[in-house]
C-alpha cells in the first residue's frame, strides 16, 4: 500500500505532501444572447395576475441534500466548531461523528492508518484520501501538531471531526508552497494502529535520584557504565553517540538505538543540556541525564512536536570526531 505523507513543518512533514484537489476544468457555459425586445403596440396590455396564482419562493440550496449528493462536501459547521465540540488546552476542537470499536489509543510514535478529508473554513476541499480511494499511513509524530494531538484521542473504528487552529496546522502564512492557511477542518476515520517498537523507561525517569550528581546549571547525571577514560570532547567537537530519550512520564520520544544507527553532530549545535553533559563524558562512557526544561526545548516548546519540560536521556559516547 502506498503511503501518502501529509506536512508538519517539514506529514518532513498531515507524513508530507498531501495532495490538493484538482481545479475545475469544465469550460464556462456559453452566454445566451439577450432576446430582442418586442415593439410595443397600443393594444398590448400586461396580463392580469390570477387571484389563485402563487409566486414560488426563490430556490435555496439545501446543505443536507448537497451533502447527500456529494459525501465529500464541506459540513455545515466547517467554519467554526459547534457548542457541543470538545476543546483542549491547545485550542484543538473535535467532535465524535461515529464511536469506535477499539479500546487502545495511538501514541505519538505509532504509525496510524486513516481515511480523511480536509477543508478550509470557507468550505473548500484541499485534500482527501477518500477521494483518492486509498487510506493513508504515517507516523503520528511526523505530521502537523493538530493531528499528532488529535488522533491520540481516537480509537480504531472512530470517526471524528477536528477544527485545527492555524498555529497547530500550517500557520496563517504557510511556508510550504501550496499548503492551506488558517484554521483547517478535517473528518478523520482511524482504521488501524501499528505500535512503534519501544525501550522501557528507567525506574528513575520521573526525577533524578539522591545519588545523581547535580551541576550549577541544574543538570543532573549519573554514570551507568564507565569507559576506558581519556579525553573529554570540547563544545566545538563533533561526537558520535547512541541515545534514548524519555519525558518524565516515561514516554519514549526518540532513540538512535531503535533506529539502529548512531547519531553524529557538533556538540555546540544541540540543546544546552547535551552540550554541557556530553563534555563530562569520555569514549565508552554511558551516562543518564535529567535535563531541566530551560536546558532542553522549554516548558512550552516553539518547535512543533518537540517534547516539553524535563527530559531524561541515556547517552553512550562512541567517538569524538
Q: Catalytic site residues?
A: 116, 126-127, 144, 170, 186
- Are the C-beta atoms of residues 197 and 259 closer than 8 Å to each other? no
Nearest to 294 by CA among 318, 316, 281, 276: 276
Question: Is residue 160 a contact partner of residue 95, using CB atoms and an 8 Å limit?
Answer: yes
Which 3 state secondary structure label does DSSP give 246?
strand
User: Cα angle vertex 6, ends 256, 132, to 5°?
Assistant: 135
Beta bridge partners of 263: 241
> What burial letters (b/e) apply to 37-58, b meaning 16+ CB within 10 Å?
eeeeeeeeeeeeeeeeeeeeee
List the grid coordinates of 61: 440550496
User: Which residues, including other chains, have CB under 8 Å from residue 52's CB and lie 6 or more apart?
Assistant: none
Q: Render 104-135 in DSSP notation, one character per residue.
A: PPPPTTSEEEEEEEEEETTS-EEEEHHHHTS-
Whether the CB-CB separation of 93 and 85 falls below 8 Å is answered with yes
Give the up-direction half-sphere exposure of residue 299: CA atoms within 13 A in the CB hemisphere.
1
Amino acid at each position: 500500500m502506498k503511503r501518502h505523507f501529509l506536512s508538519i513543518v517539514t506529514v518532513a512533514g498531515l507524513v508530507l505532501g498531501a495532495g490538493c484537489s484538482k481545479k475545475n476544468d469544465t469550460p464556462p457555459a456559453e452566454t445566451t444572447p439577450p432576446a430582442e425586445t418586442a415593439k410595443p403596440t397600443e393594444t398590448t396590455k400586461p396580463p392580469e395576475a390570477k387571484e389563485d396564482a402563487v409566486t414560488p419562493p426563490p430556490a435555496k440550496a439545501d446543505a443536507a441534500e448537497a451533502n447527500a449528493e456529494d459525501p465529500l462536501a464541506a459540513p455545515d459547521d466547517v467554519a467554526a466548531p459547534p457548542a457541543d465540540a470538545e476543546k483542549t488546552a491547545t485550542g484543538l476542537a473535535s467532535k465524535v461523528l461515529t464511536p469506535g470499536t477499539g479500546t487502545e489509543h495511538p501514541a505519538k510514535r505509532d504509525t496510524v492508518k486513516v481515511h480523511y478529508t480536509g477543508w478550509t473554513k470557507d468550505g473548500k476541499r484541499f485534500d482527501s484520501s477518500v477521494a483518492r480511494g486509498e487510506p493513508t499511513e504515517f507516523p503520528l509524530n511526523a505530521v502537523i501538531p493538530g493531528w499528532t494531538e488529535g488522533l491520540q484521542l481516537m480509537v480504531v473504528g472512530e470517526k471524528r471531526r477536528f477544527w485545527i487552529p492555524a498555529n497547530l496546522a500550517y500557520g496563517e502564512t504557510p511556508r510550504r508552497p501550496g499548503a492551506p492557511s488558517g484554521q483547517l477542518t478535517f473528518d478523520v476515520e482511524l482504521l488501524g494502529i501499528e505500535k512503534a517498537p519501544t525501550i522501557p523507561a528507567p525506574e528513575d525517569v520521573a526525577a533524578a535520584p539522591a545519588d545523581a550528581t547535580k551541576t550549577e546549571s541544574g543538570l543532573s547525571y549519573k554514570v551507568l557504565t564507565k569507559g576506558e577514560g581519556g579525553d573529554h570532547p570540547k563544545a566545538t567537537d563533533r561526537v558520535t553517540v547512541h541515545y534514548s530519550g524519555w519525558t518524565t512520564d516515561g514516554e519514549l520520544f526518540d532513540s538512535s538505538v531503535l533506529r539502529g544507527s548512531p547519531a553524529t553532530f557538533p556538540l555546540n549545535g544541540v540543546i544546552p543540556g547535551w552540550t554541557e553533559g556530553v563534555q563530562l563524558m569520555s569514549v565508552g562512557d554511558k551516562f543518564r541525564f535529567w535535563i531541566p526544561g530551560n536546558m532542553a526545548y522549554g516548558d512550552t516548546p516553539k518547535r512543533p512536536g518537540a517534547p516539553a519540560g524535563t527530559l531524561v536521556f541515556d547517552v553512550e559516547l562512541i567517538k569524538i570526531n
